[in-house]
Structure 1
Amino acid sequence: MGSVIAISEAVSLGVHGMGLLAASGRRLSARDMAQALGVSEAHLTKVFQRLARAGLVRSVRGVGGGFELKLAPADISLMAVYKAIEGIPDPSAALCSCCAQCPFRRCIFDTVLEESARHFLKYLSETTLDTVLLKFDAGELFSRNGREACPAPALQQ
């Protein structure tokens, strides 16, 4: 079954990895984050290189290296993560695969697709990593399917 809103794997890795960094409050290795997320370390590293170029994370090489947030979680919106990976989104871009050859003068989906995209982009813009952390307790953030998502720190309330 297809997804109604498609989010690229890269954006998903970026947002979830940034969530891990924000929740841990410390530097995490790409290996630890990839293991926690159940994804390829190589792909996660490529995504985080984009986030580093955008100034959202700092990359530290060597023993004890990894990635750390460059800004406070309250200063990093999900939109900033999205833009660092995908570029500036266009809510009016064709959201329907047949738009280019559509035989109708007006889209059958009317404006619902564009309105949904705008609503989603508003959410990304208004939601920071700090906002996300406030929605979850440490147990929800650091365990899934029996996997520990990086050593869990004590989260500050």
Structure 2
Amino acid sequence: MDLFIQIIIAVITVAFVILMFFLIQTIKALTATLEEVRSTVGELRTDVSQISGDVKEMIHNTNEMTRDVRTKLRSLDVVFATVHDIGQTLHSFTGVMKETAVSLVTTMKSKQHREVYDNEATGHRSSKVTSAITDGILSSVRIWRKLKQQ
């Protein structure tokens, strides 16, 4: 039985040595992996520092560009306001011109009617030039009204 216990102790010792060998191999692999992780983390810190510096610079440039664009847009506000004022002025001018043309046509019509009436009464004919001008103005007003309706 002593021999049996010695064999068991020898087997346990061999098993323990094999276990220790594999345990040491595993610890060496873990050590190498941890060293690689430590190296990677160090590189990441360097890269993150560099990237954060680049991001800060990009944000700074973007802020400057935004300020510049805002300033230029404010400058354009004056131009657009001026264009708006010019448009309003032209619109008012066009309205006045239209009213003047209508008034002129009305005056010309009344004069033409008076001349026709006077001519019929006196037997004279109105001049062809006055008639042509009146017809031209009347045609222009009709065309203007049609264009405005469209």
TM range (shorter): under 0.3
Larger Rg: 1 or 2? 2
- TM-score, length-scaled by structure 2: 0.18
| Higher relative helix content | 2
Larger RCO: Structure 1 or Structure 2 (Cα < 8 Å, ≥ 6 residues apart)? 1
